[in-house]
Amino acid sequence: MTVIIERLIQRNIRWVLLWVSKFIGDEIRVTELPKEPIKQ
């Protein structure tokens, strides 16, 4: 049981990291989008 729980936690951590990186990436894109046309 503990091995299964540890594997589930590891999978959840991977998904959480993916979601966090995606969310941060979207925020960076949103903040960069208005800056690019202003510079150009």
Q: What is the pLDDT of residues 1-40, one digit of tens each?
A: 789 988 888 888 988 888 888 888 877 776 666 665 555 5
Q: Is residue 7 part of a domain?
A: yes
Q: Is residue 4 part of a domain?
A: yes
Q: Is residue 38 part of a domain?
A: no
* DSSP 8-class letter at 17: H
The C-alpha atoms of residue 30 and residue 11 are separated, in whole angstroms, by 28
Tally of structural domains, the chain: 1
Q: Is residue 37 part of a domain?
A: no
Q: Show the domain range for 12.
A: 1-30
pLDDT for residue 24: 84
pLDDT for residue 35: 60
Query: pTM above the 0.75 mark?
Result: no
pLDDT for residue 21: 87
